[in-house]
Amino acid sequence: MKAMEIKPGIYWVGAKDSLVRDFHGYKTQRGSTYNAFLIVDEKIALIDTVKAPFSQEMLDRITSIVSLDRIDFIVANHAEMDHSGALPDIMRLAKNAQLITSPNCDANLKKHYNTDGWKVSQVRTGQSISLGKRTLTFVQVPFVHWPDSMVAWCPEDKILFSNDAFGQHLSPNSLFDDETPKDIIFEESAKYYANIVYPFANQTDKALEAVKPLAPSIIAPSHGVVWRTMVPEILAEYGKWVKHQNNGSALIVFDSMWESTTKMAKSVRDFFESKNIPVRFCSLKTDHISDIMTSVLSAKYIAIGTPVLNENMMPTMAGFLTYMRGLKPRGKVGFVFGSYGWNFRLHKEIEESLKALEWQIPVPAQSIKYVPSAIELEALQAALEPLIQ
Ligand SMILES: [Fe+2]
Ligand SMILES: [Fe+2]
């Protein structure tokens, strides 16, 4: 694979990880990319690197354009290893390069690698380096995605090198947003936000406010496609997500032992359908929690169903709720249901954990003993009425 020119003198020199299917628990069904960019001006700058196993690929792409000793600056926007993994190699081989990074990232890189001998220059928000015709200005965007995160802005080309923000876990055949089906890019952008950026909505909102006045013509994130034709659209989507806006739909997430909770889940689905509310029906036996999170992001109503198992919930539900609570979705209307044999305290406990997320709970948890009868299922639907008022 070659380096790809995204604008005259600016090249993609990253790596495609087409086969990765698990990104610490996130199911990456379309693979991923680690995007690194090389700017060849009077001075030469590399922006970010790749995951360690792809270091040689990145080095080969760079050396197809310039020799490593010609690199003046290596910008580390974020210390996480999907972007810094190749730093030890490039810092060893690019003998004349200076590492440009934020104070936080500098400290974090020292906790990841032996940085002895690296020439490091710390930059803060508003500081710039000149490459000749071009400039790179840095903006710290703490917690988008780690405390060390930073973005780099090239005003002459109006390109924002946004690191994790606006990324997608996607390994496209081509580099740009107009070369991959739009529905796939936006689905993967939503999934990426819901599984990675969601807990940092407030910080991302602030970063977004800093980005908008720049009116970038290209956003080059560190994963997935480079945005060149849909910049306003992805900014608009982020604008909705950081404000916790939903599309009014419902999501039912459940697991079952003897299909009693499945019957209840179907009854809950019937209720939403009878109100013409679009509903997504997800069994934890078949749907992956990282895919369910995409629906959590867009849904208004979230119904959680589990039977009681040994005075606790199904392990699949425990895993999902632990994962979801860490991602801190806000502004939802929640509801808990499930079957039980002799102890239904569990459903109330789950309800309390949803209240801790500041969700509204207009309908108390509904528990049905053993197998629900037709009458009990009808009563369940009737009980749901206050949910949508
Ligand atoms: Fe990250
Ligand atoms: Fe990343």
Read off the pLDDT of residues 266-300 as tens digits, 9 standing for 90 and up: 999 999 999 999 999 999 999 999 999 999 999 99
d(CA 14, CA 65): 13
- Confidence at residue 389, expressed as pLDDT on a 0 to 100 scale: 82
- Confidence at residue 18, expressed as pLDDT on a 0 to 100 scale: 96
Q: Is residue 257 located within the same domain as residue 291? A: yes
Q: Is residue 231 located within the same domain as residue 311? A: no
Range of the domain at 21: 4-242
The residue assigned the tokens 């840095």 is 138
- Cα(150) to centroid(ligand 2), Å: 12
Q: Is 44 helix (H, G, I), strand (E, B) or coil?
A: strand
Number of domains in the chain: 2
CA angle centred on 355, ends 352 and 360, rounded to 5°:
130
- Cα(57) to centroid(ligand 2), Å: 18
Q: Is residue 148 located within the same domain as residue 215? A: yes
Q: What is the mean pLDDT of residues 227-243?
A: 98
Q: What is the mean pLDDT of residues 7-22?
A: 97
d(CA 49, CA 55): 8
**320-351 core/surface letters (b: 16 or more CB in 10 A; e: else):** bbebbeebebeebbbbbbbbbeeebebbeebb
Q: Is residue 278 located within the same domain as residue 150? A: no
pLDDT band at 344 (very low <50, low <70, confident <90, very high): confident
DSSP string, 88-141: HHHHHH-TT-EEEE-HHHHHHHHTTS--TT--EEE--TT-EEE-SS-EEEEEE-
Q: Which amino acid is at 16?
A: K
Encoded tokens for 295: 């629906």
Residue-wise pLDDT tens digits, 359-386:
999 999 999 999 999 999 999 999 999 9
- Cα(83) to centroid(ligand 2), Å: 6
Please classify residue 292 by burial: count the beta carbons closer than 10 Å to its beta carbon, then call 0-12 exposed, 13-18 middle and 19+ buried: buried
Q: Is residue 231 located within the same domain as residue 305? A: no
Q: Is residue 195 located within the same domain as residue 282? A: no
- Cα(106) to centroid(ligand 2), Å: 17
The CATH number assigned to the domain holding 162 equals 3.60.15.10
| CA 221 to the chain's CA centroid | 12
Domain endpoint, select from 185, 214, 242: 242
Q: Which residues surround ligand 2, an ion (CB under 5 A)?
A: 82, 164
Pairing of strands 120-122, 98-101: parallel
Q: What is the mean pLDDT of residues 109-126?
A: 97
Domain endpoint, select from 242, 260, 279: 242
> Mutual orientation of helices 345-355 and 315-327 as an angle, nearest 10°?
10
Choose among 224, 77, 239: nearest CA to 161: 77
pTM, whole model, 2 decimals? 0.96
Q: Is residue 181 located within the same domain as residue 318? A: no
User: Which ligand has the nearest atom to the CA of 145?
Assistant: 1
Question: Catalytic positions, please?
Answer: 24, 78, 80, 82, 145, 164, 192, 223
User: Which ligand has the nearest atom to the CA of 149?
Assistant: 1
Q: Which amino acid is at 274?
A: S
User: Which ligand has the nearest atom to the CA of 23?
Assistant: 2
Q: Is 37 helix (H, G, I), strand (E, B) or coil?
A: strand
Q: Is residue 257 located within the same domain as residue 135? A: no
Q: Is residue 319 located within the same domain as residue 208? A: no
- Cα(146) to centroid(ligand 2), Å: 10
Q: What is the mean pLDDT of residues 52-58?
A: 98
Residue-wise pLDDT tens digits, 254-271:
999 999 999 999 999 999
User: Which ligand has the nearest atom to the CA of 223?
Assistant: 2
- Cα(165) to centroid(ligand 1), Å: 9
Encoded tokens for 324: 């979801």
Q: Is residue 88 located within the same domain as residue 204? A: yes
The residue assigned the tokens 């679009």 is 278
Residue-wise pLDDT tens digits, 132-160:
999 999 999 999 999 999 999 999 999 99
Domain endpoint, select from 221, 242, 263: 242
- Cα(163) to centroid(ligand 1), Å: 8
Q: Is residue 52 located within the same domain as residue 112? A: yes
Q: Is residue 254 located within the same domain as residue 232? A: no
